[in-house]
Amino acid sequence: MFQFLTPAMLDLLWRSLGETLIMTGFSSLFTLIFGLPLGLLLILTDRNGLLQNLAVNRVVGAVVNAFRSVPFIILLVALIPFTRLIMGTALGTWASIVPLSIAAIPYYARMAEVSLREVDHGLIEAARSMGASRWTIIKEVLIPESMPGLIAGFTVTIVTLIGASAMAGAIGAGGLGDLAIRYGYQRFNYPIMAAVVAVLIVIVCLIQWIGDRLVQKVDKRIVKR
């Protein structure tokens, strides 16, 4: 199929790939920076948590659920004024990072909460009985013990962001989604559409493979050979 792509189309494909990687890369970074602490806050302030505060937990949980319940395409449009305030424009690759991050942060926060909740409570109690501080328990028990789940959840989040970035491309964010819509679908250029699909499959498979290898490396339950 690639022999039907002109040099100009190949240049557009490479440029669109770069735009998709920028959108996904930076939004993934912000998702990790803000999503993991948010997941920690949800688990720590829950009933019997290290920082039990049910009022804070319910408010934060409600906000997270509210953002998670809004379809991305609607959130993308609703955040246009906020995106323009932050980035100076609501269009383009860099501007799309704002709605992508805001959509992914609560999503990953819930996934992180699930992984953190699976940590054996006995380990936490043992650490507390030995006089460990709350910060020490978080750093030495909660996060290390839940690391396989955190990595697996982050891998799924990145894959989801790739799909969302393609959706953002349909309204002017650039990237592979924009290329597939404008040059593939609207101009009936099926080779470019097939090329975009092939590239996306390769990216997703590569990210999933890396994520699986990292999980296997840190998972203490897997016997290393």
Specify the amino acid at residue 197: V
CATH annotation of 7-218: 1.10.3720.10
- Spatial CA neighbour of 79 closest among 164, 156, 181: 164
- Spatial CA neighbour of 203 closest among 77, 32, 24: 24
pLDDT at 59 over 80: yes
The pTM assigned to this predicted structure is 0.87
Q: Give 185-222 pLDDT, tens digit per residue.
A: 777 777 888 888 889 899 999 999 999 999 998 877 65
Rounded Cα–Cα distance for residues 75 and 70 (Å): 6
Q: Give 122-134 pLDDT, tens digit per residue.
A: 888 888 888 888 8
Q: Give 154-186 pLDDT, tens digit per residue.
A: 999 999 999 888 877 766 777 888 787 777 777
CA 152 to chain centre: 11
